[in-house]
Amino acid sequence: MLDLEKSEKLKIIEEKAYALGFDGFGITSPETGEAGTNFSQWLSLGYAGEMAYMARGEEKRRDTNLVLEGVKSIICLRTNYFTTEKGMDFLDLPEKGDISLYALNKDYHDIITPRLKELEKNIQEGFADCKTKIYVDTGPLLEKPLAQRAGLGWIGKHTNLISQGIGSWYFLSEILIDVELPESEVAENHCGTCRSCIDICPTDAIVAPYVLDSKKCISYLNIELKGVIPIEFRKAIGNRIYGCDDCQIVCPWNSYAVKTDEPAFKGVDGNFLLTELILMDDEEFRRRFKGSPIKRIKRRGLLRNVAVALGNSKNTKAVPFLIKALEDKEPLIRAHIVWALGELLLSESISLLDEKLAAEVEPMVLQELDVLRQRFLV
């Protein structure tokens, strides 16, 4: 039975969490059990793609004692970032790039981490000599299974966490502690027979309910993948230039989502004019995306994505902008511009590109040119 003193301390800590802006608080034990086994199987199937950090952290994800020696409890926290309604109508604006809802604001790590540290300080004051460790999706933790066991929601068929009456537009964070605390009630699954997320996925990345092949997921392709985007996925990406929200947009539980009143998360227009972005230099990129999660993929990653989106736009007015962008110093960007011009000009693009890239020596760009020639000249 939980002693009264510990109960009172926990009550104060939970109240402090809500006062700091967290809107979900739960506690679970550190065991990973079946979730750890499932994670290892997921890795063995190659579904992590080039996210090597997943495999490097496999042991720790399966054994949280390797993350914090002596850990007995994990406090799981939820932070709502839902600022503005979002539907699939961004597809009707192919001249603009769509950015995932979470990335339209200041980098959430910069917002949540200081609050987590303050809460950690309160915990350390309440439980003298305790050891703690904090994470905002940056550490080797199976945070979604842990959050489900902590009662914050259940893992949906799209593999995102869903909370009944709230939806899935939120961030997760954790505090590990070497003090045994009472566990919250495990959240029940309410997906039922619904398969909206599976059916909407443009690349069929949800290969089975609750199983995601990251290599096919647009959020992987335009964020995690650092190199050339496989040709077979480019058309499906459409005008999504950072992340993809489709599976969350169609989830029925997100019809209950309540907008956050968090001042740090401001609802802004998530559509960006592609022809402006494709000519953005390093200085403009740093200025425009300072403090944004988008800075993570760097200018080369974003403009690679923009080139793909322009290729999908069917907007031939974008051709002069793409031709100008062929002068870009980054071969990754030039390579995807070759594809984009091929989509917009078809066979007419070959003579143009042969002229503009006569001195090209970068293998990835030359490979795109070869693919284009094979498509139209063979």
**One of 63, 92, 129, 137 is an active-site residue; which one?**
137
Tokens encoding 16? 């402090």
Q: Report the relative pairing of strands 132-135 and 96-99 from DSSP bridges.
A: unpaired
- Mapped to the 3 state alphabet, what secondary structure does 193-229 carry? CCCHHHHHCCCCCEEECCEECHHHCHHHHHHHCCCCC
Positive or negative, the Cα torsion across 339, 344, 347, 349? negative
Active site annotation includes 137 = yes
d(CA 138, CA 132) in angstroms, rounded, equals: 15
C-alpha distances in angstroms, 14 versus 9, 18, 20, 122, 205?
9, 6, 10, 10, 37
| DSSP assigned state of 55 | H
Residue among 340, 350, 334, 295 nearest 105 (CA): 295
Q: Is 292 helix (H, G, I), strand (E, B) or coil?
A: coil
Tokens encoding 204? 């069929």
| DSSP assigned state of 152 | S
Residue 273 bridge partners (DSSP): 96
End-to-end CA distance of the chain: 77
Positive or negative, the Cα torsion across 278, 319, 221, 93? positive
Helical H segments across the chain, by residue range: 4-20, 33-44, 52-56, 58-62, 108-126, 143-149, 196-200, 218-219, 231-237, 246-249, 274-277, 282-288, 298-311, 319-325, 331-345, 348-356, 363-377
Whether residue 48 contacts residue 18, with contact meaning beta carbons closer than 8 Å, is answered with no
Active site residues: 137
